[in-house]
Structure 1
Amino acid sequence: MSTSDLQVTRKSPVTTVAAILGLIVLITLVAAPYWAGRADMRLMGEIFLYLALASLWNLMAGYAGLVSVGQQAYVGFGGYMLFALTMFGGLHPIGAIAVAGVLGAVIALPVAFLIFRLRGAYFAIGTWVIAEVFRLSFAQVSALGGGSGSSLPVGIVRSLASSRAGREHLSYWLALASAVIVIAAVYFFMRSRSGLALMAIRDNEMAAGSLGIEIWRTKFIVYIVTSALTAMIGALIFLQKLRISPDAAFSVNDWTAFVIFIVVIGGIGTIEGPIIGTLVFFLLRETLADLGTIYLMVLGVVAIVLMLKAPKGIWGLIRSRFDLELFPLSYRVKPNKPLRKC
């Protein structure tokens, strides 16, 4: 067999079937306001927002090697920018979400220049310290309620839609759109030359640098973009909640610990991992939430067992056994024509 009889491709029958099924699922989810109840839409909206946060954290930690435990800084920042821009800037909430993302990128610039001086565990601790600085700073802003927080005025809420059902539908569609946009952005970024450089940096930073890849610049861009999108997700989260406070906005448990749990059990460094991890997390939460602190203990036990038995997460275990890839990132070599039997 000569090289002309072979072709390098990312596609496979599995990815084609996955794309078709994914499109069917997406159409079904878009139509959810016409077949699902209010409680179901709220739950699904929360799932989509956590999926978006987990995919963004996975892009940083799983691909860029930037293990942050302070992404709640940008969740809370985005939420507070939504309140400030709508209450004092007169912006429509949807416009405020977009501006919150831009401001998230702006505020991430000096933060990145500061914490990129740190490595490993020091980087992780530095991101948490920055998040605490954000929390303490916003707790001093009396115009936004100080330490007790504030609620979004009724007039601003009604500007989304005239009816309660319309507002709930819009919030649901925005949450779904955020998850789809983030996953698509991560997918197409990882298929680009920058994504290939990012994976090279993750696998061997020294070797990637010797090949001319600009390591600092690549990681810097990932951090800024991730922070901007996280701020937009934070604005969406608190648009749904309609109330914000420093402790809720900058909660390390809600916006970082649970997100890390989702990525670790699903499979870090894969696009499929956060999707599976989010589904598992919410299945456990809805099943065990009434158990109080036992619920958190179960989450911890599940995480420990999976890290011991399947270090690459649930999807990593499935992929290693069945050679599956729903989002085609890896290259495969296959013959142009079926091989003849001898």
Structure 2
Amino acid sequence: MTTTDFNVQRSSPASRITLVLGAAWLVMATTLPFWGEASWMREMVEFSCYFIFAMMWNLLAGYGGMVSVGQQAFFGLGGYLMLALSDLGGINPFVAIPLAALGAGVMAVPLSWIAFRLQGGYFAIGTWVIAEVLRLTVANIAAVGGGSGTSLTALRGLSRLVRQQTTYWIAVACVVACIVGIYLFLRSKQGLALQAIRDNPVAAESQGIAVGRMKLRVYMVAAAGCGLAGALYFVGNLRISPDAAFGVNWTAFAIFIVVIGGIGRIEGPMVGAVLFWLMNKFLADYGTWYQMGLGLLAIAVTLFFRQGLWGVVQGWIGSSLFPTQRVLVVSAPSASAARGPAAERAGSAAPTALSPPCAQNS
């Protein structure tokens, strides 16, 4: 008679080290206003907006398989909803940030009725058309400044230091909430269902997954996240215009960040956002050469590192910092007591890690 031990592992040494480093980063980030410079806080707020937007695009396209080039629609909606709630509705702009994100998520429902009628490349182009329609619509609303835009006046009563510190802390909180929320979602059954839909919608539906409902939920969550990034960005910028809010560059930069870092990986937008921020900070003064550099880097990574830079690193270290898969560890059968202790020790083997197909992480 033999016995076999089974164990499901959902963490790794690398993930535990990541938890410790993340806690240390959080302590450093939350205390930065007390020892850092004001310019550092502004840089962090801008970085947070790019990062959150890229994470939402990665969730939508990398995990959900819905490639959109019009997510700037919800970025702009978040910014303008924040402005309307603050300047016209009398709500504190910092309170208006999550409300604007919620509003962008709600607006995704009627817009999905149009977008979800399209598939593949038509879906991507359709989302861009939706964003352009929203841009033109907002440009004709005089109450929010029309085509020339307007300034956020609801923060005039606050000192510059208080405004910068509050905006910064909200940005840090939004980054943490974004990472933790997406990580927990991808580790859940719904996260596995989403990846199954991405790989094969027909097969996923045949297994009882509500494909349409899941896509709508992810579309709403991605819209709310993009709206959160937009509201946060324009609270820090203090001025908004249709061209700045609904510009296609937002999605173009998000695609660049995700593709460079590694699409379909939580670590991908992190690596890509840091690299994009460094290039933007130190090379932006070179003008068109900077744009060419971004394009050449994207082409090189697409041709030679199709899994992104983090995909290469993950292949080297053989582990993920944010493991979302379930790893089945099986111990070899051990002999019964009748065979004696020596035989039992001889029959035991090292654990073998198996990753079931349904739990594979892209």
Q: Under a length normalisation based on structure 1, what TM-score does the superposition of the two structures give?
A: 0.94
- Describe how 1:147-226 pairs up with structure 2 within 5 A: 147-153=147-153, 156-159=154-157, 162-226=158-222
- Change in 2 beyond 3 A, CA 1:96/1:3: farther
8 Å contact kept, 1:140–1:146: yes
> How far 1:300 moved relative to its partner?
0.2
Which residue identity is paired with 1:247?
A: D
Partner residue in 2 for 1:97: 97
The answer to whether residue 267 in structure 2 is matched with residue 269 in structure 1 is: no
Rounded to whole Å, the distance in 2 between the matches of 1:3 and 1:139 is 71
1:238 to 217, 234, 237: 234
Structure 1 window deviating more from structure 2 (168-177 vs 124-133): it is 168-177
1:75 touches 1:230 (CA, 8 Å); kept in 2?
yes
Note the C-alpha offset of 1:340: 6.0
Instruction: Kindly state the Cα deviation for residue 102 of structure 1 after the two structures are TM-superposed.
Output: 2.4
Structure 1 residue 163, shift from structure 2 partner? 2.5
CA distance in 2: counterparts of 1:310 and 1:340, whole angstroms: 37
Within 1, Cα distance between the matches of 2:82 and 2:101?
10
1:32 pairs with 2:38: no
The one-letter code matched in structure 2 to 1:279 is V
For the pair shown, the structure with the greater C-alpha radius of gyration is 2
Q: For 2:35 and 2:72, locate their aligned partners in 1 and report how far apart those are by CA, in whole Å.
A: 33
**Cα gap change, 1:198 to 1:143, in 2 (>3 Å):** same
Offset, 1:2: 6.6
| Alpha-carbon distance in 1 for matches of 2:225, 2:165 | 22
Report deviation, 1:205. 1.9
Q: Which stretches in structure 1 are left out of the alignment for 5+ residues?
A: none
User: Cα gap change, 1:143/1:2 in structure 2, threshold over 3 Å: closer, same or farther?
Assistant: farther
Structure 1 counterpart of 2:326, from 319, 328, 331? 331
CA deviations on 1:119-165 (whole Å, 9 max, x unpaired) are 00000000000000000000001111111111111xx2145xx4211
Give 1:5 shift. 2.4
Q: What CA distance in whole angstroms lies between the structure 2 residues aligned with 1:21 and 1:336?
A: 32
Identify the match of residue 288 of structure 2 among 288, 293, 312. Answer: 293
Matched, 1:59 2:54: no
- Where does 1:43-122 land on structure 2 (aligned, <5 Å)? 43-122=43-122
Where does residue 13 of structure 1 map in the other structure?
13
State the shift of 1:106 in Å: 2.2
For 2:311, give the aligned amino acid. G
Identical aligned pairs, as a percentage? 48
Q: How many residues align?
A: 336
Give 1:247's aligned residue.
243
Describe the SS at the equivalent of 1:147.
helix
RMSD: 1.8
Q: CA deviation at 1:178?
A: 1.1
Query: Shift in Å at residue 192 of structure 1?
Result: 1.0
Q: Once the 2 structures are TM-superposed, how far is the Cα of residue 202 of structure 1 from its aligned partner?
A: 1.5
> Do the aligned residues in 2 keep the contact of 1:49 with 1:178 (CA within 8 Å)?
no
Q: Which runs of 5+ in 2 are unaligned?
A: 333-344, 351-362
Looking at structure 2, the residues matched to 12 and 143 of structure 1 have their Cα atoms a distance apart, in angstroms, of 53
Q: How far did 1:335 drift?
A: 5.6
